[in-house]
Amino acid sequence: MMLWKAYIKKEAILAKRYITDTIGGGITIFLVFLLIFYGYSGIVGFNLGSDTKESLILSFIIWILAISIYQNITDSIEDETRIGTIEQLYLSKYSFLTVITFKSFAMLLIDFIQIFVLLMLMMLVTQTFLDFHNIGSILLLTFFVSLSFWGLGYALAGGVLLFKKIGTFLQIIQFVLLGLMFLPAEASPFFKLIPSVWGLNLLRDVMVHGTQLSAFGWTDYLYLTLPSIAALLVGILLFRKCLTKATEQSILGFH
């Protein structure tokens, strides 16, 4: 807990110190959203249904959340490698996975503030509002949706440990995830097995249509939990495998 508090304090100080960069990043994300939102409106016509507008906003926000999660993990590895402290973290009394997780989660808490502000701006500018009445349901579904993003982050962080620079690959992942955000989960049973896809579909039901969790069947919860948990476990396994290989090859601190 002390480690987590220390990282939260550190990330808060960094966010305040580089507030201009933080604001600039938020503006860029907001402009990308406007481009997607009004670009889509121009393609299909400006008479978008309310459900479509709300789904666009929700999908975009979850996409930003996904990017924040996996980039925080990979950035943690890259930052510690660049400043030469990664080997000290590996030798600390905490496991290396625990240290990286706590640091990444602290970074995510700061990102949550930016994501919340962006969400409010998106709804105000487009005059399209999501339903937040079932906040408990929203948090639960978001938790399971995000598990697969953590798994992806751990897997990619393993790649950073071995290959050091995978920035181009991370950019490709962004566009792949963006496509998944708009994938019609009910179009095929296979789509439901793709981690986070079905969870996002359930989030749309709750935040767009006001559906209660009790309205979902047990198969809905299986599709929600199993793929995401499996993705998380696979990501952790790959991270540990890559960490072991990096230490065996003595390239852990190589930049």
**Which of 46-55, 57-66, 125-134, 240-249 bottoms out in mean pLDDT, i.e. has the lowest?**
46-55
CA 34/CA 37 separation, integer angstroms: 5
Kindly indicate the confidence band of residue 92, based on its pLDDT and cuts at 50, 70 and 90.
confident
The pLDDT assigned to 153 comes to 95
The pLDDT assigned to 46 comes to 47
The pLDDT assigned to 40 comes to 65
Residue 232 has pLDDT above 80, yes or no: yes
> How does pLDDT run across 40-78, given as a tens digit for each residue?
665 554 444 456 788 889 999 999 999 999 999 998 888
For all residues of the chain together, what is the average pLDDT?
86
Q: Are 101 and 240 in contact (CB under 8 A)?
A: no
Residue 29 has pLDDT above 80, yes or no: yes
Residue 255 has pLDDT above 70, yes or no: no
> How does pLDDT run across 206-219, given as a tens digit for each residue?
998 888 888 898 99
The pLDDT assigned to 49 comes to 47
Which residue would you say has higher pLDDT here, 33 or 165?
A: 33
SS (H, E, C) the chain: CHHHHHHHHHHHHHHHHCHHHHHHHHHHHHHHHHHHHHHHHHHHCCCCCHHHHHHHHHHHHHHHHHHHHHHHHHHHHHHHHHHCCHHHHHCCCCCHHHHHHHHHHHHHHHHHHHHHHHHHHHHHHHCCCCCCCCHHHHHHHHHHHHHHHHHHHHHHHHHHHHHCCCHHHHHHHHHHHHHHHCCCHHHCHHHHCCCCHHHHHHHHHHHHHCCCHHHCCHHHHHHHHHHHHHHHHHHHHHHHHHHHHHHHCCCCCCC
The pLDDT assigned to 228 comes to 94
The stretch 5-34 carries a mean pLDDT of 86
Through-space distance between the first and last CA atoms of the chain, rounded to whole angstroms: 30
Q: Are 103 and 76 in contact (CB under 8 A)?
A: yes
The pLDDT assigned to 157 comes to 93
CA 50/CA 209 separation, integer angstroms: 10
- Which range, 86-95, 164-173, 220-229, is most confident? 220-229
> How does pLDDT run across 178-215, given as a tens digit for each residue?
888 888 877 778 888 888 889 999 999 999 888 888 88
Which residue would you say has higher pLDDT here, 23 or 91?
A: 23
Q: Percentage of the chain surpassing pLDDT 90?
A: 36
Cα angle 46, 134, 200; round to 5? 55
pTM over 0.75: yes
Residues with Cβ within 8 Å of 36's Cβ and at least 6 positions away in sequence, in order, are 56, 60
The stretch 3-14 carries a mean pLDDT of 82
Longest alpha-carbon distance in the chain: 59
